[in-house]
Structure 1
Amino acid sequence: MSRLRAASLLDALGIGAIVAVAIASLVILIAPSIIVVIISFDTRAFVAFPPQGFTLDWYRQVFSQDVLVEAMWNSLQVGVTVTALCILLGVPTALVCVRGRFRGTTALSIYVLVPHMVPGIVLGVAVLFAGALVGVGPSIGLQSLSIAVFVLAVMVRTVMSRLQRLDPALDEAAANLGATPFQNLRTITFPLLMPAILAGSVFTFIEGFDNISVAIFTHGFRDRPLPIELLAMVQTTNTPLVAAVSGVQILLAILALAAVSKSIGLDRVND
C-alpha cells in the first residue's frame, strides 16, 4: 500500500508540474500581447504601464492617418494575394503528394517544406536578388510572391493532413457508381477538404498580413505594409499609437480565427 501511495503521490506531483509549466508558458506567451492592448487605451502621450486612464483616441488616429490606412490597405492586398496563391498552388500539391502514384511524392512534399524552414530574412534577400536578375523590383507583387513561397507549406501540410484521414472507400464507392475522377474531386473530395482549406487560408492570410521578416526586403518604397510602417513608427515615436496599431493587428488575427471556429470549428480541420 505504501508503494502505491508513493506512486500516486509521484503521479500527482508530475501532473502538477506539467500543469504549472503549461500555465507559465501561456502567461509568458500571452501576457506581452495583453499588456500592449492595455497600453493602447492609455490617456498619456507616452508608453507606460499601468495606464492612468481610458481613451479610444489612439485607435481613432490609426484610422484617421492616411499613411496608416494606406499601409493597412497594402497589407490587406498582400494577405489576399498570398492566400489566393497558396490555395491555387497548395491544394493541388497536397493532392499530388497524398494521392500521386509516382516516386517523387516524398521529395515534392519535402521540397515544399524547405522554404518554410529557411529563415524569412534569408528568403527575403534571396527573392530580392532573384527579382533584380529578372528586372522585377520591390513591390506588392514581389512581396506577395515571396511570402506565398514562405508559407505555402502551411496550406500544403494542412490539406495533406485532412486528405490522409479521408476514407479511401469513398473514392471506390464513387467509382463504382460511375463517377469520373473529376466528378469525384468536385462532389466528394473538395467538400470534405473545405474545413482544411479554410483553416489554411486563415493562417496564410494572417501571415501575409503580418509578415515582416520577408516583407522588409521585398516591399516597395511607396507600398509599405502595416508591419513595416509599425517598425518605422517604433523608431521615431513613443506614443500609445504604436500599441494601437499592434492592437488592430491582434484583433484581426483573433477575428479571423473566431470566424473559422464559428463557421467550421477548428476541431474539424483534421477530423
Structure 2
Amino acid sequence: MRSLRQMSIWDVLGIGLILAVAVFSLILLVAPSIIVVIISFDTRAYVSFPPEGFTLRWYAEVFKQDKLVEAMLNSLQVGVTVTILCIALGVPTALACVRGRFRGKTALSVFVIVPHMVPGIVLGVAVLFAGALIGVSPSIWLQSISITVFILAVMVRTVQSRLMRLDPALEEAAANLRATAFQSLRTVTFPLLMPAILAGAVFTFVEGFDNLSVAIFTHGFRDRPLPVELLSLVQFTSSPLVAAVSGVQIVLAIVALVLVSISIGLDNVNE
C-alpha cells in the first residue's frame, strides 16, 4: 500500500471525501437512535431533548400496557413464523440456484429477488387485494406469508454467498467415500452452511418483527403487530412511552447482532 507521500493530491482528496461521507452517513444512521434512547429515560411526560432527569418509568409503563404487550407477542409470532418459512424455502432455493443444473436456474434466482426490490407498500397492497379476491382476510398468517415473500431474498442471498465459496471437492470426496447425496448434504454441506443459515435467520427475524410497510396492509384487526401499534401510538400521544418502545426494539436488534457475533462471528458469514 502506498504511503501518503507517494499519493497524488487527487488520491488524498478522494480518500478524504470517502471518509467524510462514511462518517457523515454513520452519524445520520446512529445519532437518531441514540437520541431516541436518551429521550426514553426523560422524567417529563412529553418528548423533549435534552432530558431533565433520569427514570425507568416509561420502560415499566410499556409492559403495563396490554395493547403493547399483545402487539409485542404478535410481532414475536410473526418474526418466528417468517424465520421458519425463510429457512424452509430459502435454503433449498439457494442450493438449487448454486448447485442445480436445470434450465431456468437464473430465472429462479431473479424471481426470488424481485419481491424484495418492490416497495413494501406496493407488495402489501397487492397481497391485500389478492387476499380479498380469494376470500382470505387480513390476519397474522397472511402478514407472515407476505413478509416472507418480501424478505426471502435475504436468506437466499446469504446462503448463496456462503455456498458459492464452498469447495465442491468436499462434496465430491464424500461421494467418493460412497456417501449418498443426502448423507453428503447432511454431514458436509449443512454444517458448513450453518453460519450463513443462522445469520440469515437472525436478519429475517428482525425484519419480520419490525416490518411496517407490508404489515400495515396485511395484519388483522385483532393481530396488530408492534410497528403498527407504535404508529398508532405516535398519532395520539407525545409521551416518552413511544421512545421507550423504540428503545426496546433497538435493544432487540443489537442483542440479535451480538448473538450472531458471539456464536458464529460476523466474519464467518460469507467466508
TM-score by length of 2: 0.97
What is the CA–CA distance in structure 1 between the aligned matches of 2:135 and 2:10, rounded to whole Å?
Answer: 65
**Structure 2 residue 130 is matched with structure 1 residue 130:** yes
Counterpart for residue 101 of structure 2 = 101
What is the CA–CA distance in structure 2 between the aligned matches of 1:253 and 1:86, rounded to whole Å?
Answer: 18
Counterpart for residue 45 of structure 1 = 45
Alignment of 1:71-86 (within 5 A): 71-86=71-86
What is the CA–CA distance in structure 2 between the aligned matches of 1:206 and 1:50, rounded to whole Å?
Answer: 29
User: Any stretches of 5+ residues in structure 2 without a counterpart?
Assistant: none
Alignment of 1:13-52 (within 5 A): 13-52=13-52
Counterpart for residue 189 of structure 1 = 189
Note the C-alpha offset of 1:96.
0.4
Note the C-alpha offset of 1:11.
3.0
1:53 aligned partner, one-letter code: G
Residue 157 of structure 1 aligns to a residue whose secondary structure is helix
Could you give the per-residue CA deviations for residues 25-79 of structure 1, whole angstroms, max 9, x where no partner exists?
1001111111001000000000000111000000000011111000000000000
What is the CA–CA distance in structure 2 between the aligned matches of 1:6 and 1:212, rounded to whole Å?
Answer: 50
What is the CA–CA distance in structure 1 between the aligned matches of 2:172 and 2:60, rounded to whole Å?
Answer: 58
2:252 aligned partner, one-letter code: L
1:96 aligned partner, one-letter code: A
Alignment of 1:84-95 (within 5 A): 84-95=84-95
Counterpart for residue 55 of structure 1 = 55
**Structure 2 residue 169 is matched with structure 1 residue 140:** no
| Identical positions, percent | 79
What is the CA–CA distance in structure 2 between the aligned matches of 1:7 and 1:69, rounded to whole Å?
Answer: 58
Residue 52 of structure 1 aligns to a residue whose secondary structure is coil
Note the C-alpha offset of 1:6.
8.2
What is the CA–CA distance in structure 2 between the aligned matches of 1:149 and 1:231, rounded to whole Å?
Answer: 23
How many residue pairs are counted as aligned between the two chains? 268
Note the C-alpha offset of 1:21.
1.5
1:64 aligned partner, one-letter code: K
Counterpart for residue 67 of structure 1 = 67
Q: CA RMSD in A?
A: 1.2
Note the C-alpha offset of 1:12.
2.9
Residue 53 of structure 2 aligns to a residue whose secondary structure is coil
1:92/1:51 Cα in 2 relative to 1: closer, same or farther (>3 Å)? same
Counterpart for residue 219 of structure 1 = 219
1:128 aligned partner, one-letter code: L
What is the CA–CA distance in structure 2 between the aligned matches of 1:137 and 1:107, rounded to whole Å?
Answer: 31
2:206 aligned partner, one-letter code: I
Note the C-alpha offset of 1:13.
3.1
User: Any stretches of 5+ residues in structure 1 without a counterpart?
Assistant: none
Note the C-alpha offset of 1:14.
2.7
1:209 aligned partner, one-letter code: F
1:121 aligned partner, one-letter code: I
TM-score by length of 1: 0.97
The answer to which of 123-132 and 224-233 deviates more is 123-132
**Structure 2 residue 238 is matched with structure 1 residue 238:** yes
1:158 aligned partner, one-letter code: T
Counterpart for residue 120 of structure 1 = 120
